């Protein structure tokens, strides 16, 4: 199906309408260029339809459900709290549909031709869409994203061995679920289903959230265990049949569903890159320079398909930069990219917090008024700063870490020092005060925290 008129010649063609691609298309149109956006599946790509938005929608629902059942300390005794999984799924699908419609509206409003189909390159200046539509372009931006990595012996079958997409599309709460992989996807999906009442096991060959600060992970691990999640580390799943997963340690896990969440790999299937000069690395990621150009002078690439970190907001920023870079000098040169694990509590980190040459100020939420009021004192803010007090990294473990980390990212982009954060008035009573308090602590003048000299 072709939506809108099909152009034969365009200034910019964008392949993939995920968060990277549609944003690149909009910015290119804002620059006055003729733009075609090719998508073989759904506008909004994985983020809007299968990943970020669905997972955060379901996490929110699971939080509401779990809080309703576990708020005795506030004097709330809800005897019977029920979840209707079909209604929950309808809601989650409705959110994605609404956002997809919004993307379509914005693209059409900008005069972008949305073409439904699979693009494959014919040369460095032309491509073909499935139906045989041929497009000649001056510049192409590849934004084809990623796909879930498969695990040998645990091939996805869409019924009881599933990937994250299927796991975020269930119309029932399974009694038991085993998640293979303890990265952010496994932790988020495991926590949400555990809160909805499933008996969840997480099996991982290494550590929980490896790569993240242990101080933060230990808090999350404790909470996951309190919710009832069985975390099995340093173990490999060997087989799975009749609802039983056997591990190499000899242990067995009951699970009516096995969710394989061991990572993502770049998606370039059927793009026919061999007809261009585009190079990929050993892992299949498209190689780009700081202007986001591939080794082909007509072709740029952005988002998951060019490598780590595979995050929507990185893809979005690269979408803007690539569109500009296709027309003039522009560089993807952000100092930092924040990352958030939507665990309970959330972990958000930006910049460098592990360099031993940096000093660390750590403010615990046990000393924060709002955290005490909300009974959410398990967490902290850590600021890493250098000898001139310039902020180099910030980590936040708290309920609102997802929102607070933006201030931290801005601070680092602007070259802020501890005084800048400490002397900025932060509203009270909010979790944001913990950033200010951590900065005060770094300056040796804490207000709500006593350090014996
Ligand atoms: C469970 C989960 C939760 C996540 N949560 C978050 C989060 O909370 N925050 C965050 O920042 N990141 C999150 N991510 C990561 C985020 O989803 C990705 O980083 C983001 O979607 C990448 O965007 P993209 O534009 O590069 O690619 P995608 O969103 O993957 O879009 C690529 C698009 O290209 C299309 N396509 C591919 N090949 C072709 C072709 N040849 N022709 C036409 N179209 C094609 C695909 O159909 C797809 O729509 C999550 C990931 C997972 C798995």
Q: Is residue 203 pLDDT above 70, yes or no?
A: yes
What is the average per-residue pLDDT within 356-371? 96
Q: Is residue 21 pLDDT above 80, yes or no?
A: yes
Residue 387 DSSP class: T
pLDDT (0 to 100) of residue 1: 39
Q: For ligand 1, pick from 46, 53, 129, 322 the residue to mutate: most ligand atoms within 8 Å of CB.
A: 46
In sequence order, the β-bridge partners of residue 116 are: 39
Atom 5 in ligand 1: which residue has the minimum CA distance? 52
Contact 3, 299 (CB under 8 A): no
Q: How does pLDDT run across 57-73, given as a tens digit for each residue?
A: 999 999 999 999 999 99
Tell me whether the CATH fold assigned to 7-147+265-325 matches the one assigned to 161-262: yes
Q: Is residue 195 pLDDT above 80, yes or no?
A: yes
CA distance 167 to 194: 13
Q: How does pLDDT run across 206-234, given as a tens digit for each residue?
A: 899 999 999 999 999 999 999 999 999 99
| DSSP annotation string for 61-109 | HHHHHHHHHS-GGGT---S-----HHHHHHHHHHHHHHHHHHHHHHHHH
Which phi and psi (to 5°) does residue 161 adopt? -120, 110
Upstream peptide bond of 345 is cis (omega within 30 degrees of 0): yes
Banded model confidence at residue 120, pLDDT cuts 50, 70, 90: very high
CATH number of this structure's domain 161-262: 3.50.50.60
Q: Could you list the active site residues?
A: 428
Superfamily of the domain at 339-442: FAD/NAD-linked reductase, C-terminal dimerisation domain (3.30.390.30)
**Percent of the chain scoring above 70 in pLDDT:** 98
Lowest mean pLDDT among 130-139, 260-269, 414-423: 130-139
CA distance 186 to 59: 13
Banded model confidence at residue 5, pLDDT cuts 50, 70, 90: low
- Residue 178's nearest CA partner among 210, 141, 206, 203 is 203
Domain boundaries, the chain: 7-147+265-325, 161-262, 339-442
pLDDT (0 to 100) of residue 79: 82
Model-wide pTM > 0.75:
yes
Q: For ligand 1, pick from 45, 270, 321 the residue to mutate: most ligand atoms within 8 Å of CB.
A: 45
Banded model confidence at residue 7, pLDDT cuts 50, 70, 90: low
Instruction: List strand residue ranges (DSSP E) for 308-345, in order.
Output: 339-341
Contact 438, 363 (CB under 8 A): yes
Residue burial 261-285, b: 16+ Cβ < 10 Å; e: rest: bbebbbbbeebbbeebebebeeeeb
Q: For ligand 1, pick from 24, 104, 144, 306 the residue to mutate: most ligand atoms within 8 Å of CB.
A: 144
Looking at every residue in the chain, the average pLDDT score rounds to 96
Contact 322, 337 (CB under 8 A): no
Atom 26 in ligand 1: which residue has the minimum CA distance? 303
Superfamily of the domain at 7-147+265-325: FAD/NAD(P)-binding domain (3.50.50.60)
Residues with CB under 6 A from ligand 1: 15-21, 38-41, 45-47, 51-52, 55-56, 118-119, 143-146, 164, 185, 267, 270-271, 303-304, 310-313, 315, 342
| DSSP annotation string for 358-370 | SEEEEEEGGG-HH
pLDDT (0 to 100) of residue 453: 74
Q: How does pLDDT run across 329-342, given as a tens digit for each residue?
A: 999 999 999 999 99
pLDDT (0 to 100) of residue 6: 56
Which phi and psi (to 5°) does residue 178 adopt? -115, 130
pLDDT (0 to 100) of residue 54: 98
**Percent of the chain scoring above 90 in pLDDT:** 94
Residue 175 host element (H or E): none
Report CA(285)–ligand 1 centroid distance (Å): 14
Report CA(52)–ligand 1 centroid distance (Å): 9
Tokens describing residue 259 = 């969710």
pLDDT (0 to 100) of residue 449: 84
Report CA(45)–ligand 1 centroid distance (Å): 5
Report CA(303)–ligand 1 centroid distance (Å): 8
Q: Is residue 131 pLDDT above 80, yes or no?
A: no
What is the average per-residue pLDDT within 299-311? 98
pLDDT (0 to 100) of residue 8: 85
């Amino acid at each position: 199906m072709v939506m809108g008129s099909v152009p034969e010649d365009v200034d910019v063609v964008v392949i993939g309408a995920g968060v990277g691609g549609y944003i690149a298309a909009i910015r290119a149109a804002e620059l006055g260029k003729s733009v075609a956006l090719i998508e073989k599946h759904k506008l909004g790509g994985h983020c809007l339809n299968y990943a970020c938005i669905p997972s955060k929608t379901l996490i929110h629902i699971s939080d509401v459900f779990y809080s309703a059942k576990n708020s005795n300390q506030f004097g709330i005794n809800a005897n019977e709290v029920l979840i209707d999984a079909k209604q929950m799924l309808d809601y989650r699908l409705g959110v994605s549909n609404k956002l997809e419609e919004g993307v379509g509206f914005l693209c059409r409003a900008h005069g972008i031709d949305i073409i439904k189909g699979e693009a494959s390159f014919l040369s460095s200046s032309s491509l073909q869409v499935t139906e045989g539509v041929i497009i000649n372009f001056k510049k192409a931006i590849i934004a084809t994203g990623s796909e879930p990595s498969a695990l040998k012996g645990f091939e996805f079958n869409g019924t009881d061995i599933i990937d994250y997409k299927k796991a975020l599309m269930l119309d029932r709460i399974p009694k038991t679920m085993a998640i293979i992989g303890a990265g952010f996807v496994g932790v988020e999906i495991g926590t949400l289903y555990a809160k909805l009442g499933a008996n969840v096991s997480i099996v991982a060959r290494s550590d929980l959230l490896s790569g993240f600060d242990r101080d933060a992970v230990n808090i999350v691990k404790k909470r996951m265990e309190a919710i009832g999640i069985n975390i099995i580390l340093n173990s490999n799943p060997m087989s799975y049949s009749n609802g039983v997963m056997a591990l190499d340690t000899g242990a067995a896990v009951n699970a009516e569903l096995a969710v394989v969440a061991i990572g993502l790999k770049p998606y370039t299937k059927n793009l026919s890159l061999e007809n261009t000069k585009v190079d990929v690395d050993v892992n299949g990621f498209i190689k780009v320079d700081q202007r986001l150009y591939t080794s082909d002078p007509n072709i740029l690439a952005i988002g998951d398909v060019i490598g780590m970190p595979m995050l929507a907001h990185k893809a979005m920023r690269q979408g803007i930069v690539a569109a500009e870079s296709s027309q003039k000098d522009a560089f993807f040169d952000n100092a930092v990219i924040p990352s958030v694990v939507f665990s309970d509590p959330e972990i958000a980190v930006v910049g460098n917090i592990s360099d031993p040459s940096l000093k660390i100020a750590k403010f615990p939420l046990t000393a924060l008024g709002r955290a005490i009021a909300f009974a959410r004192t398990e967490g902290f803010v850590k600021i890493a700063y250098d000898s001139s007090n310039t902020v180099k990294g910030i980590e936040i473990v708290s309920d609102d870490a997802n929102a607070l980390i933006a201030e931290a990212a801005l601070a680092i982009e602007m070259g802020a020092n501890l005084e800048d954060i400490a002397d900025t008035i932060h509203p009270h009573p909010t979790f944001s005060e913990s950033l200010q308090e951590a900065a005060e602590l770094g300056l040796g003048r804490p207000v709500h925290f006593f350090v014996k000299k």
